[in-house]
């Protein structure tokens, strides 16, 4: 899942490489990542709906680090502050991705994103009976992208990502879950955004499920003028998951609904060899075309029946190499010091 250069204001790092401090609060079972400082310049004013969605220059930061504790990650919260410690608007953050550099996604041969958060994504916590397994010493990277449409320049900005975890010795062991990313706009080595409009448009992508498992919860990411984001069983036509944007009267999206199915029941069963479709619907103002104005990403909490059948990361896969080349273009190699 790649990052679109849409609506991203210039975010200039106050240093050549963003500083990342990693600490552990073992009494609270929290890993704290502090990133910054940044200088966030306001985006230049744009005229008209279509012009608003044209690509703008931006800076992204990617910083590699070593995961410090063994256990299961189960939740997060985000705070953004200025140099005086005052809270800043969440809308400044376009997204952050936490990447596991030794594991792959289920549906695409890219780095696993145990955490992918957009500006409309609320802080979240899994039940104590579930968690994403992470080993001490795992190689990770934190990617951030910023979107300052407030009209105000901000200096000395810092981000704190606090991740709650269950320690490795906990009993009983939680259910092992992994993120399942279903991306309408996925294409190797290019942005996952797409053109929308005019009027009502439907954007979709089908995939073949590689392993059996259950969806225990689902959230999503949509852009302005979105109407819906659904997961459909292709053979039956049944809608398995229906997410809806939280938008104002103008169509500006401030959030996306979530569906939680619990962990003691069956959840939403997905079967190996069966074809599914993720579908995003947009309705733009009459006569307007929004270049690269849409996204449709559904992210599920997925419990595989047999975790050992999860595919391994292939660093020579053409799609992985295309994704890596795009990350390099955006400064990944300099900031993250990745290995090929």
Could you tell me if 71 and 135 are in contact, meaning their C-beta atoms sit under 8 angstroms apart? Answer: no
* CATH architecture assigned to 178-307: Sandwich (2.60)
Q: What percent of the chain has pLDDT over 90?
A: 59
- CB neighbours of residue 53 within 10 Å: 26
Res. 121 pLDDT band, cuts 50 70 90: confident
Domain ranges of the chain: 11-175+313-336, 178-307
Query: Mean pLDDT over all residues of the chain?
Result: 84
At 130-175, the pLDDT tens digits run 999 999 999 999 988 888 888 888 988 999 999 999 999 999 999 9
At 288-334, the pLDDT tens digits run 899 999 999 999 999 999 999 999 999 999 999 988 887 776 655 44
SS3 61: strand
Most trustworthy range by pLDDT among 10-24, 112-126, 149-163: 149-163
At 39-75, the pLDDT tens digits run 888 877 554 444 443 333 334 567 889 999 999 999 9
* CATH architecture assigned to 11-175+313-336: Sandwich (2.60)
Task: Determine the average pLDDT of the residues in 16-25.
Answer: 82
- Residue 332 to residue 329: CA distance in whole angstroms: 7
Instruction: Determine the pLDDT at residue 274.
Output: 98
Q: Determine if the pTM surpasses 0.75.
A: yes
Token pair listed for 157: 């900005």
Whether the per-residue pLDDT at 105 is higher than 90: the answer is: yes
Please name every residue paired with 324 in a beta bridge, in sequence order, or none if there are none. Answer: none
């Amino acid at each position: 899942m790649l990052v679109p250069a849409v609506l991203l204001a210039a975010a200039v790092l106050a240093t050549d490489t963003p500083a990342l401090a990693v600490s552990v609060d073992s009494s609270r079972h929290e890993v704290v990542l502090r990133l910054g400082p940044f200088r966030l310049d306001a985006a230049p004013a744009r005229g008209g709906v279509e012009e608003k969605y044209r690509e703008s220059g931006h800076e992204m930061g990617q910083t590699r680090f070593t995961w410090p504790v063994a256990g299961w990650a189960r939740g997060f919260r985000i705070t953004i502050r200025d140099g005086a410690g005052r809270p800043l608007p969440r809308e400044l953050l376009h997204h952050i991705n936490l990447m596991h550099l030794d594991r792959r996604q289920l549906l695409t041969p890219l780095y696993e994103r145990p955490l992918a958060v957009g500006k409309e994504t609320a802080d979240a916590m899994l039940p104590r009976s579930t968690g994403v397994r992470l080993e001490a010493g795992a190689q990770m990277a934190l990617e951030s992208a910023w979107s300052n449409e407030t009209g105000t320049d901000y200096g000395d900005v810092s981000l704190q990502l606090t991740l709650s975890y269950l320690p490795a010795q906990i009993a009983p062991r939680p259910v092992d879950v992994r993120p399942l990313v279903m991306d309408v706009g996925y294409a190797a080595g290019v942005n996952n955004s797409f053109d929308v409009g005019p009027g009502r448009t439907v954007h979709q992508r089908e995939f073949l499920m590689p392993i059996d498992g259950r969806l225990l919860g689902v959230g999503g990411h949509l852009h302005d003028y979105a109407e819906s984001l659904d997961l459909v069983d292709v053979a039956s036509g049944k809608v398995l998951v229906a997410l809806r944007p939280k938008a104002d009267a103008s169509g500006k999206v401030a959030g996306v609904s979530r569906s939680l199915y619990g962990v003691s029941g069956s959840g939403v069963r997905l079967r190996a060899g069966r074809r599914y479709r993720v579908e995003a619907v947009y309705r733009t103002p009459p006569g307007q075309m929004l270049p690269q104005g849409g996204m449709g990403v559904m992210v599920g909490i997925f419990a595989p029946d047999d975790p050992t059948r999860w595919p391994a990361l292939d660093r020579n896969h053409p799609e992985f190499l295309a994704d890596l080349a795009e990350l390099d273009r955006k400064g990944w190699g300099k900031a993250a010091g990745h290995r090929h």
